[in-house]
Each structure stands twice: as structure tokens, then as C-alpha cells.
Amino acid sequence: MDIVAALMDGLWVAVQPHNLALAVIGVVVGLFVGALPGLGSVNGVAILLPFTFVINEATSDPAAPMIFLAAIYYGAMYGGAISSITLGIPGASTAVATTFDGRPMALKGQADRALVTAAVASFIGGTVATLFFTGFAPMLSSVALDFGNPEIFALMLLAFATFIGLGGDDIPKTLFSIFFGLLLATVGFDTISGEPRLVFFNEREQTALLETIGASTQAVPLFDSVSWFSRGIQFLVLAIGVYGIGEMLWTINESRYKVTMTETTISFSRIMAGIVGMKDAWKGTTIGSLLGFFVGILPAAGATPGSLMSYGVAKMTSRNPRSYGEGNPDGVAAPEAANNSASTGAMLPMMTLGIPGSPTTAVLLAGMVIWGLEPGPRLFEDRPEFVWPLIGSFYVSNVVAVLVNLAFIPLFLAVLRMPFTILAPVIFVLSIVGTYAAYDNMYDVWLMVLFGFGAYLLRILDYPLAPAVLAVVLGTTAEEKMRQSLLLSDGDFAIFWNPFFDRDGKGQEWWIAPVTTWIALILIALPIIIWAVRKMRSGSAAEA
């Protein structure tokens, strides 16, 4: 009953005019951001994060900025399907699987049906996940109270392991990406000793360089006696660089500006027919809703693997798997239900454990920290005035999102007809203005563009960059928890993996860290074991 009462209170706050207006604006913005090629929920949330400072000041409501960002997140999940279906290129990585059957449906003249299926499946997935969230979040938060430093570090390790276990990407490149992101997070002042580290181009190096080229510091105005790197590398700088600049450069190269558009018509009767036609997509919707949520709550798994796995399971369990890829509505419903379900699920570890489940929740986490909210085990107990309105807003945003999506489909189609050579410079401009607005200095803007170029070049060579973006957010906490744990154990790593390690009464639930660490280690080793088994099988087959 406590949960029901708290939820009712939260819903009441969520439907207050200012929060409702923010949810509507956020959903509309998110739909556009999600629908625009080259932009996804992470771009929308990252670019619009500075805007929430104004919202916070204007409303004085701690939940209002998060309601706005969560609505963008939801809207983007709905919107991702629009360009997947109509343009044939996914609006975001979470909508990649939607392209597999959405585009063939559009080519068969069923773009309207595909769009309606995607919207309704998204609504069902989002609502199912929110119901799970309401039921399980307080329970998980009370379990999370038992988490000490070793347990949280073990969870972080699990988060990084899921990239490798679930990612399916090139393993050494995924590992490189994780290590690189974690390393970027260490640049600047060490939070424990207070000493600078990895501060490139510091005074000593500047002097050495200037002596080499025979110039003085005054002669080169770019040089400052204090290196800009001592400020650290801000998360948004990397996120906007990778997703705003790098992805756009990659899209320009891949699409060659020839983004083709499918003509389609939308009318009320066709929308209703699409909703009735959802009975053909119930299986995909169910699989996506359930699987998406459970993949979403895994630390650092997120909506992309959730939607891809749901598509795979829906196809695997289908009586007619060959119809997938040819325009099967289940093939649209499964990934769309899953990416919405997973996006809600990913909020759970973010809020209760402080571990983001996706790049977007990583930005949301950063936003919460900026506004003085401390995600973690005590959030539900300490800040109910923030948590329950946010959960209430999930329900509200879902209803708003499906209505706005269905109503605005013709308008989105019109905007998507905008030539890519107009869209691209506007996105570049937004990335640069957004970065400057966030940090008030050109150093971060230059660094962001540099990361963008680097991300583009690495993307051509199939380096996955999402792990780096996630790692740069988790990095500071991961290091802090690891160092504090090792301080507790006098430098003995057994504190992480040995359930019988004597913590001298300093720990709480001793089994959690070892079990989590071992699961993480198995997940890390799993792809290598699978690779070895395949090698052995192919070897024995060759012998036979």
C-alpha cells in the first residue's frame, strides 16, 4: 500500500501543469531528436542537459529537470523507429533492429502500419517496464543498502563485463574502448591524494617544448602556465564529440547525402487499422517488453542489446523465421517494445545503485549529480519527493509519447524530407554551442571536436565507442571504490573475489562482492571460451 500511495502522490506531482508541460515538450523534442538520423536519445539528453539549469531555476522543483530529460529519453525511443522505417537508416543505435523489418514494410507500401506498430509496441513495452519498475525499484533499493565499496566496485566490473559478454563486438577493441574511457576519467586532479595526474602539456612539458623550438611563453599566447588538462576531461565533451561530431561525419560518409525517403500517407482510419493489426504482433511485443526490461536493468547493457536480443529471440521462436527481414510486424514490434522497456529498466540501476545502464542514463546520472541528487541505495529513502514524481512521469510520458507520436507522424515525415545538407550543419552548430554553454570555455569545444574526429576515424575501423562513453562516467566512482576497498584490505585483491576474506567486521553482505566478481569474470571469459570451443569444433570437423 505504501508503494501505491507514494505512486499516487508521484502521479499527482507529475501531472502538475509545469511538469506535464515539460513532459510534453520533452517528448516532442525527443521524438524529433530520435527521428533525426545521426542523433539518438543520448545526443538529445546530452545537448539539452545545459537547458535544464534554467528549468531547475524556474521551477525550484527537484524532479522537474529529470522529468524533462526522461521525457526526451522516452520520446527518442519512440522517434528512433521513424527514420528506421521511412529512411531506412536508424535514427539511433537502439532502432537498428527496427530497420530489419520496418524498412521492408515501408517498401511494400506499409509504412503507416509499421509506424503505428512501432508506436503501440513502444507504448506497451514502456508501460510494462514502468509497472515492473514501480514494483521492484524499492525492493532493489533496500537490497542495495547492503552494498559497500567492494560490492559497488564488483558491480562496476560486472557493468564492464556485460559490454564484452553482450556486445558481440570485436573483443580487443571493446576492451580498448573501456580502458580508454576509464583512463580519460582519471585526467586532472586525483580526488584522494589531491595531486595532479595525466596533466598533459603541464608547465614542465611546455618549457621543454618551447626551449626545443626556441620560443618564449609570451611569444606563444596559446600556452598557459596552468595546463587546461588539470580541469579534467568532462563527460559531455566526449559524449557530444562522439555522438554529435563523429556520428555525423560517419553518417555523411555512409549515406553520401543520398538519404532516400519513402512517400507514405497517414489518416485516422489507417492509424486505427494499424492499431487493430497489432494482434499480429503480440508475440514480438510480449518478448520485447519482458526481455527488454531484464536486459535493461543489467548494469551497462542498455536498450541497444535489449532490442537486438528481443529481435533475435522473436525470430528464433517464430514458426516462420524466414518471414523476418521481409516485413514481419513482429520484427518491428519486438525491438521497439524492447528499447522502450529497456530504457525504463536502465533507469533502475542508475537510480538505485548509481550505475547507468546505457550512455543516455549515464548522461542522466551526470545530470542528477549536477543538481545535487545522489543516486544510490539511499535515494528512495532520502529523496522520495524526487523519486516518485519521476516514476509517475514515466506513466504520463508514455501516454503523452504514444499520442504525440501517432498525431505527429505526418509532420515528422515532412521534417525528415529536409535535405541532409541543411540538417548536418545545424547538428554541428548545436554540438558546438551546447558544449560551450555547458563549460564556458573554448578548450572543451576544441577537445570535443578533436574527440569527434578521433571517433569518426575509429568508427571506420569498427571500434565500439559507447563503452568509452559509459566508462568515462563510471571511471571516477570505480576507481574511488576500488582504492577504498584496497585500503580496507591492505592491498589484498581477495576482498573482491574471496567470500571467506576477513574484513574484520567492516563489510556487510560479504557474498555479494565475490559472487558479482565471479559472474563478471565469467562474462569476460565467456566470449574467449566460446571462441576456443568453436576452434576445437572446427578443428575436429576438419580432421573428420
Partner 1 sequence: MRRAEFVTAIILALVSAYLMWKSGEGPEWDTEYIHWSNTGVNIDGSGPGKGFWPFYLALGMLISCIWIVINTIRRTSPPSRSEEPFMDGYAKKMLLLVGGGLIGFLILIDLVSMYAAIAVFILYYMLILGRHPLPLCLATSLVVPFWLYLFFDIVMTKVQPKGTRWIEDTFYNPAGEFFRGQSLIVIVLFFAVSGAVLALTARSARY
Which residues of the shown chain bind partner 1 in the complex (CB under 8 A)? 50-51, 53-54, 170-173, 175-176, 179-180, 182-183, 186, 190, 192-193, 195-198, 200, 202-204, 245, 249, 252-253, 256-257, 418-419, 421-422, 424-426, 428-429, 432-433, 436-437, 442, 445-446, 449, 453, 456-458, 460-462, 479, 482-484, 486-487, 490-491
What nine digits make up the cell of 314?
A: 522473436
Cβ distance to partner 1 smaller for residue 313 or 370 = 370
Closest distance to partner 1 from the beta carbon of 192 (Å): 7
Cβ distance to partner 1 smaller for residue 52 or 162 = 52
Cβ distance to partner 1 smaller for residue 139 or 450 = 450
Cβ distance to partner 1 smaller for residue 55 or 332 = 55
CA distances in angstroms from 450 to 106, 423, 427, 454, listed in the order given: 38, 21, 16, 6
Closest distance to partner 1 from the beta carbon of 453 (Å): 6
Nearest CA-CA partner of 33 in 48, 52, 51: 48
What nine digits make up the cell of 350?
A: 542508475
User: What are the DSSP calls for 139-195, one per residue?
Assistant: HHHHHHTT--HHHHHHHHHHHHHHHHHHH-S-HHHHHHHHHHHHHHTT-EE-TTT--
CA distances in angstroms from 399 to 78, 120, 407, listed in the order given: 12, 10, 12
DSSP letter for 279, please. G
Closest distance to partner 1 from the beta carbon of 275 (Å): 32
Closest distance to partner 1 from the beta carbon of 53 (Å): 8
| CA atoms of 434 and 53, how far apart (whole Å) | 13
Closest distance to partner 1 from the beta carbon of 41 (Å): 21
What amino acid is encoded at 527 in this protein? P
Closest distance to partner 1 from the beta carbon of 517 (Å): 16
Cβ distance to partner 1 smaller for residue 228 or 446 = 446
CB atoms within 10 A of CB 276: 10
| CA atoms of 276 and 117, how far apart (whole Å) | 10
Closest distance to partner 1 from the beta carbon of 26 (Å): 16
| CA atoms of 50 and 20, how far apart (whole Å) | 20
| CA atoms of 350 and 357, how far apart (whole Å) | 7
What nine digits make up the cell of 232?
A: 579534467
| CA atoms of 303 and 297, how far apart (whole Å) | 10
Closest distance to partner 1 from the beta carbon of 9 (Å): 31
CA distances in angstroms from 79 to 12, 36, 195, 428, listed in the order given: 27, 8, 45, 20
Report CA dihedral (192, 196, 199, 205) to the nearest 10 degrees: -160
Reported as type and span, the H/E element at residue 197 is: strand 196-197
User: Is the C-alpha dihedral spanning 221, 226, 229, 231 positive or negative?
Assistant: negative
CB atoms within 10 A of CB 285: 29
Cβ distance to partner 1 smaller for residue 215 or 415 = 415
Closest distance to partner 1 from the beta carbon of 29 (Å): 13
Cβ distance to partner 1 smaller for residue 411 or 426 = 426
Closest distance to partner 1 from the beta carbon of 97 (Å): 20
Closest distance to partner 1 from the beta carbon of 491 (Å): 3
Cβ distance to partner 1 smaller for residue 6 or 438 = 438
Cβ distance to partner 1 smaller for residue 176 or 223 = 176
Cβ distance to partner 1 smaller for residue 228 or 282 = 228
- Three-state DSSP at 196 gives strand
What amino acid is encoded at 20 in this protein? L
Closest distance to partner 1 from the beta carbon of 306 (Å): 24
Cβ distance to partner 1 smaller for residue 283 or 483 = 483
Cβ distance to partner 1 smaller for residue 294 or 436 = 436
Nearest CA-CA partner of 420 in 37, 91, 42: 37
CB atoms within 10 A of CB 437: 13
357 touches 155 (CB < 8 A): no
